[in-house]
């Protein structure tokens, strides 16, 4: 299936713990189907970098691996969702993360007559997540994701996508914070699996394999969700 087949703007949600690969897969879906990736983590990191009120309130919580308040996150998401490019359809990566956020999303989408095509749960073992997260970094030039062991830079040391050599590691991608992030996931976000199951929107895929393998599983689910 290619982008041309998408006649109505789709809304896809990626669920899964930190390290499950939501960002990596969202970027691939973005390219493949012309959807817009909405990562509340990226939006919050931009707010922190810009020093906005929301960013100032979010910074310490993010560094500790907790969840930023629903109010801040919902406001940021609402603003972003209202921008013109989102009319092409969106992949939500890292939102919703609480039941309050899921309910707010239902209201937001209802206002514009949109609906969720699928909430896709990336199923992984917690034990593997620490290794995935502690080794990851992204290209400062284009945002491409890399990993010390699973997806290293080419021998040139430059990004294969844009040629930049400036790489970034997130402040919260360390072994101590990962534990808190996984705890927050199980306590506050995992209940959303039942929430979307109840709506008949849930799809589960095995996300323990390699990046391309997961992408294939995802493509099958996405294709089914668009029909």
Binding mask 43-72 for ligand ADP (x = CB under 6 A): -x----------------xx--xxxx----
Active-site choice (78, 151, 170, 204)? 170
Q: Which of residues 73 and 205 has its CB atom nearest to ligand ADP in the complex?
A: 73
73 binds, among ligand ADP, Zn ion, none (CB under 5 to 8 A by kind): ligand ADP
Q: Which listed residue (27, 45, 59, 97) is catalytic?
A: 97
Applying CB under 6 A, the site for ligand ADP has a residue count of 17
Question: Can you tell me which of 139, 205, 218, 222 binds Zn ion, judged by CB under 5 A?
Answer: 139
Is 170 annotated as catalytic? Answer: yes
Q: Is residue 160 part of the contact set for Zn ion (CB under 5 A)?
A: no
Identity of the residue, 7 or 156, whose beta carbon is nearer to Zn ion in the bound complex: 156
Q: How far apart are CA 5 and CA 176, in angstroms?
A: 44
Is 45 a residue of the active site?
no
What residues are labeled active site? 22, 97, 136, 170, 181
**Binding residues for Zn ion (CB under 5 A):** 139, 141-142, 144, 159, 161-162, 164
């Amino acid at each position: 299936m290619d982008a041309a087949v998408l006649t109505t703007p789709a809304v896809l949600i990626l669920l899964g713990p930190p390290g499950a690969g939501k960002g990596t897969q969202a970027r691939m879906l973005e390219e493949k189907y012309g959807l817009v990736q909405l990562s509340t983590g990226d939006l919050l990191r931009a707010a922190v970098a810009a020093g906005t009120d929301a960013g100032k309130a979010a910074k310490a919580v993010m560094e500790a691996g907790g969840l930023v308040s629903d109010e801040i996150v919902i406001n940021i998401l609402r603003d972003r969702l209202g921008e013109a490019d989102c009319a092409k359809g969106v992949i939500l990566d890292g939102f919703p993360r609480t039941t309050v956020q899921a309910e707010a999303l239902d209201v937001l989408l209802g206002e514009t007559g949109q609906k969720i095509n699928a909430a896709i749960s990336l199923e992984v073992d917690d034990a593997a997540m620490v290794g995935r997260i502690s080794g990851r970094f992204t290209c400062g030039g284009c945002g491409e994701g890399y990993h010390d062991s699973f997806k290293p830079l080419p021998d040139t040391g430059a990004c294969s996508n844009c040629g930049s050599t400036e790489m970034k590691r997130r402040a919260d991608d360390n072994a101590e914070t990962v534990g808190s992030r996984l705890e927050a996931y199980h306590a506050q976000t995992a209940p959303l699996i039942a929430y979307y199951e109840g709506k008949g929107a849930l799809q589960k895929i095995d996300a323990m394999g390699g990046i391309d393998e997961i992408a294939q599983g995802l493509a099958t689910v996405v294709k089914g969700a668009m029909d």
